[in-house]
């Protein structure tokens, strides 16, 4: 996984990362507050020998003391030292429990014994440390060999008595909170990476590249307003959403330089992914170049173009395929584009679209229009799209970001490849707009209203037709 992928995953799940990190810190902080305070106090004993008057004897005594000091430190937590402490302080805890409250340390190359006691009370910690030191000193003097005058040869002198600490040493709330934040952040990362691995929904271009060699033609911007009956190309042509359709048109211009695209099928793996919106937006974007464009609604099961543009669906493609209407009767002429609605829903849509009549009709319309954009049924539920994709110059597969799964896209492309239908690429729909483009495009937030025949607005751009060399036919 590339570093950019890690950054992208963190940005995508930033809310979960922040929430779990804060939650971890909060839980750790509350846990720290629930732990009783612990106080620590330390007393220091100096180990010395009473033997010897000469320098040689003193050196020997010092060596003896350094050799024995570690043994004395181990003696501090033994019952022989702690039992007198329990009796003196009238403690009810066991000797083993008391030993866990005591820790002994001997600094390197010294004859100092540090006795540290831990207790829930600052005063009790100091009293306990001093009591253990006194008991240890008494026991060492008793166990040490006697000198010439029947005196203990080793003496432990308290050089630093234990004092009650001003503040507890545990729990350290800051440390607990930092650990909680770190644990929460780690859990959030594991959650994000698990979601990334297990979630097969397509979120970005890299997901498309995992399952297909087809290029991503455009990322169609998600509209900030409610769904409209028409197209953002008509209602808000200066928005970033409209510019994304123009980018799709521009990218198609570079697909086939020697053989310009004349017939383009727009489909999707399943329903609800925005194929009709994309087909309408693409047709209007191409029409800005000054060429004559026909939008055909070939989804004979659930047609949507007529409803979007609020035109009469009484006659359309199905009427022409059974010979009940001609081009003049079925095609609805708008200011921007011509539209061939689906017409009445037939009982046998696949048979009609896979007929010789459909092939002849596409050829006839190709002679009258520069560009034909065909909105078809989804690929996975039915096979209505396949015969049209085989007749067209290319097919665009529309997917919905965060909705379409990788397996759905792979199966849809495999269906097209099986019949050797040319696939132009993938259009990613409902992609979140990037603010960095706001200098060049305007999201005006205009409320989209239905567009009726004859009311469509046309925005002229520099003539860059998809099918180069063609001449617009008169209206």
CA distance 468 to 290: 11
Examine the domain organization and report whether 15 and 132 are in the same domain.
Answer: no
CA distance 224 to 226: 7
Helix axes 3-12, 14-34, angle to 10 degrees: 70
- CA nearest neighbour of 471 among 369, 351, 380: 369
Q: So what's the pLDDT on residue 269?
A: 93
Whole-number average pLDDT of the chain: 82
- Report the CATH number that the domain containing residue 395 is assigned in CATH: 3.40.50.300
pLDDT tens by residue, 98-110: 999 999 998 887 8
Examine the domain organization and report whether 156 and 288 are in the same domain.
Answer: no
Examine the domain organization and report whether 222 and 241 are in the same domain.
Answer: yes
**Does residue 16 belong to any structural domain of this protein?**
yes
Do residues 214 and 413 make contact, with C-beta atoms less than 8 angstroms apart? yes
Instruction: Name the DSSP class of 9.
Output: H
Examine the domain organization and report whether 256 and 184 are in the same domain.
Answer: no
Higher-scoring residue by pLDDT: 183, 60: 183
Read off the pTM: 0.59
Examine the domain organization and report whether 339 and 405 are in the same domain.
Answer: yes
pLDDT tens by residue, 306-321: 888 888 878 889 999 9
Q: How far is CA 40 from the centre of its chain?
A: 46
- CA nearest neighbour of 350 among 391, 400, 298: 298
Domain count, the chain: 3
pLDDT tens by residue, 340-367: 999 899 999 999 999 999 999 999 999 9
Examine the domain organization and report whether 242 and 131 are in the same domain.
Answer: no
Do residues 409 and 423 make contact, with C-beta atoms less than 8 angstroms apart? no
Judged against a pLDDT cut of 50, whether residue 471 lies above it is answered with: no
User: Among the ranges 46-60, 85-99, 152-166, 455-469, which has the highest mean pLDDT value?
Assistant: 85-99
**Does residue 307 belong to any structural domain of this protein?**
yes
**Does residue 427 belong to any structural domain of this protein?**
yes
Examine the domain organization and report whether 349 and 217 are in the same domain.
Answer: yes
Entry field: residues in the chain: 475
Q: So what's the pLDDT on residue 136?
A: 92
Judged against a pLDDT cut of 80, whether residue 186 lies above it is answered with: yes
Examine the domain organization and report whether 276 and 187 are in the same domain.
Answer: no
Q: Which domain holds residue 66?
A: 39-160
């Amino acid at each position: 996984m590339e570093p950019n992928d890690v950054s992208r995953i963190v940005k995508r799940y930033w809310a979960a990362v922040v929430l779990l990190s804060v939650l971890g810190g909060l839980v750790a902080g509350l846990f720290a507050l629930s732990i009783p305070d612990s106080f620590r106090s330390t007393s220091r004993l100096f180990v010395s020998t009473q033997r010897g008057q000469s320098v040689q004897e003193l050196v020997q005594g010092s060596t003896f003391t350094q050799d024995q000091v570690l043994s004395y430190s181990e003696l501090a937590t033994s019952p022989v030292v702690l039992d007198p402490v329990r009796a003196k302080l009238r403690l009810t805890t066991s000797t083993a429990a008391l030993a866990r409250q005591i820790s002994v340390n001997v600094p390197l190359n010294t004859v100092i014994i540090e006795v540290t006691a831990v207790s829930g009370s600052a005063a009790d910690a100091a009293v306990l440390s001093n009591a253990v030191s006194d008991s240890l000193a008494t026991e060492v003097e008793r166990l040490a060999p006697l000198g010439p005058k029947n005196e203990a040869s080793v003496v432990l002198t308290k050089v630093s008595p234990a004092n009650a600490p001003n503040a507890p040493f545990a729990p350290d709330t800051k440390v607990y909170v930092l650990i909680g934040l770190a644990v929460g952040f780690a859990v959030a990362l594991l959650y994000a990476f698990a979601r990334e691995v297990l979630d097969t929904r397509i979120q970005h271009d890299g997901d498309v590249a995992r399952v297909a060699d087809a290029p991503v033609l455009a990322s169609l911007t998600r509209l900030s307003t409610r769904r409209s009956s028409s197209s953002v190309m008509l209602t808000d042509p200066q928005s970033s959403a409209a510019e994304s359709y123009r980018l799709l048109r521009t990218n198609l211009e570079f697909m086939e330089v020697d053989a310009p695209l004349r017939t383009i099928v727009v489909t999707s793996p399943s329903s609800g992914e925005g194929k009709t919106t994309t087909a309408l937006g693409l047709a209007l974007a191409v029409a800005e170049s000054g060429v004559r464009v026909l939008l055909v609604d070939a989804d004979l099961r659930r047609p949507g173009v007529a409803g979007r543009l609020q035109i009469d669906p009484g006659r359309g493609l199905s009427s022409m395929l059974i010979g009940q209407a001609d081009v003049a009767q079925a095609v609805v002429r708008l200011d921007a584009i011509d539209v061939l609605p689906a017409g009445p829903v037939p009982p046998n849509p696949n048979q009609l679209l896979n007929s010789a009549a459909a092939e002849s009709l596409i050829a006839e319309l190709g002679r009258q229009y520069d560009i034909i954009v065909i909105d078809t049924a989804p690929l996975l539920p039915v096979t209505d799209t396949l015969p049209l994709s085989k007749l067209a110059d290319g097919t665009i597969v529309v997917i919905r970001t965060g909705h379409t799964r990788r397996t759905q896209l792979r199966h849809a492309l495999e269906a097209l490849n099986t019949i050797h239908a040319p696939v132009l690429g993938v259009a990613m729909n409902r992609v979140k707009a990037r603010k960095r483009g706001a200098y060049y495009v305007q999201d005006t937030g205009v409320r989209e209203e239905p567009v009726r025949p004859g009311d469509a607005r046309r925005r002229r751009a520099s003539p860059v037709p998809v099918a180069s060399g063609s001449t617009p036919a008169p209206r």
